[in-house]
Amino acid sequence: MPFLEMRGVHKGYGKADARTDVLHDVNLSIERGEFVAIVGYSGAGKTTLISLLAGLITPETGSITIDGKPITAPGPDRGIIFQNYSLLPWLSVANNIKLAVDQVFPKWTDAQRRAHVEKYVDLVHLSHAKHRTPAELSGGMRQRVSVARALAISPQVLLMDEPLGALDALTRATLQGEIVRIWTSASSVESEQERKTAVLITNDVDEGILMADRIIPLSAGPGATLGPSVAIDIPRPRDRKEINHHPRFKEIRREVIGYLTATRKSIGAATERERRPLPQLVPVNPYARPSIFGRVARRLVGGTA
């Protein structure tokens, strides 16, 4: 049985004529310890999908389960990394992480919680900056704090909603490798046999192929759904320079981009047909004196000038 699963999930917003169907018949199965990337256009419904997995919103129809249990609300079994960091500006690096640890492990002693925080601050290489506030950190360092905070609650699943989208290209490239390193090493830090299950939402196909075990395209919206899953059978560790020359990288990239492009074209064509106005036919009096306007009107309805 899949560890994380969505079955027949539909989600939309609004009522009647103002309604927008965001996701339609979404089916997703993820195994324990797997790293899955879901890639799609901006506005297709990626954040809605990750919010459903997080329990922040509920589906209108369909079911979402983790380890066989229904997801109906947020929980410590799912850690979330947002695109905008979501750090409290008046707290230090360590205290931003400690806030989450205090909520999830209230029965631990102060010494236990401090040691736990230190472990994850060190994991993301921020021990030298643990007393700094977010305003004193770069964008990449802030996102490292978000990663540490999500992992410090010891979740079973790590959910990432375009966590690198707001960063410059060089910082983004660095953190791609860092997140994979952290995902790989988190199990040894927590003395577990299995890696965290990870779900990455991104609009960057190359990023998904570089980081994940499997990549799934999300069709263009409205009414987006998941396309065919593609296994990324490229050995780890993956070097971002060398991978560009790997034949399998090119095949996967071509397949995923081809699917995304095709769905966008089909949606665009359907929308264009809906928006195309019908010709305005002018009623003509056949006994009226011919005029320039009458001759034009007759032509529109198939008559002669």
pLDDT of residue 114: 96
pLDDT of residue 289: 52
Residue tagged 């960091």 (tokens): 85
Query: Could you tell me if 9 and 25 are in contact, meaning their C-beta atoms sit under 8 angstroms apart?
Result: yes
pLDDT of residue 281: 46
Q: Which domain holds residue 69?
A: 4-77+155-300
pLDDT of residue 212: 96
pLDDT of residue 122: 93
> Is residue 148 assigned to a domain?
no
Smallest Cα–Cα separation from 216: which of 205, 227, 200, 202? 227
Q: How many CB atoms lie within 10 A of CB 19?
A: 10
DSSP at 129: G
pLDDT of residue 190: 53
pTM of the model: 0.83
We report the CATH number of the domain holding residue 168 as 3.40.50.300
84-104 b/e (C-beta count within 10 Å ≥ 16 → b): ebebeeeebbbebbbebbeeb
> Is residue 242 assigned to a domain?
yes
> Is residue 111 assigned to a domain?
no
Q: Kind and range of the H or E element at 215?
A: strand 214-217
> Is residue 281 assigned to a domain?
yes
> Is residue 283 assigned to a domain?
yes
Give the rounded distance of the alpha carbon of 175 from its chain centre.
17
DSSP at 14: S
Residues 16, 20: Cα–Cα separation, whole Å: 9
pLDDT of residue 18: 82
Smallest Cα–Cα separation from 56: which of 222, 64, 163, 35? 64
Strand 61-66, strand 69-70: pairing: antiparallel
Q: How many CB atoms lie within 10 A of CB 170?
A: 9
- Both tokens of 120, joined, read 């994850």
> Is residue 8 assigned to a domain?
yes
* Radius of gyration, alpha carbons of the chain: 26
> Is residue 106 assigned to a domain?
no
- Please list the rounded mean pLDDT of every run of 10 residues in the chain (305 residues): 95 86 96 96 93 96 96 94 91 96 95 95 94 95 93 93 87 89 68 75 95 96 93 92 92 96 73 51 50 49 50
pLDDT of residue 181: 85
pLDDT of residue 169: 87
> Domain count of the chain?
1
> Is residue 138 assigned to a domain?
no
| Residue/partner pairs of 84-89 with CB below 8 Å, 24 or more apart | 84/166, 85/134, 85/139, 85/142, 85/143, 85/145, 85/146, 86/146, 87/134, 87/142, 87/145, 87/146, 88/134, 89/133, 89/134, 89/135
Strand 69-70, strand 20-30: pairing: unpaired
pLDDT of residue 196: 87
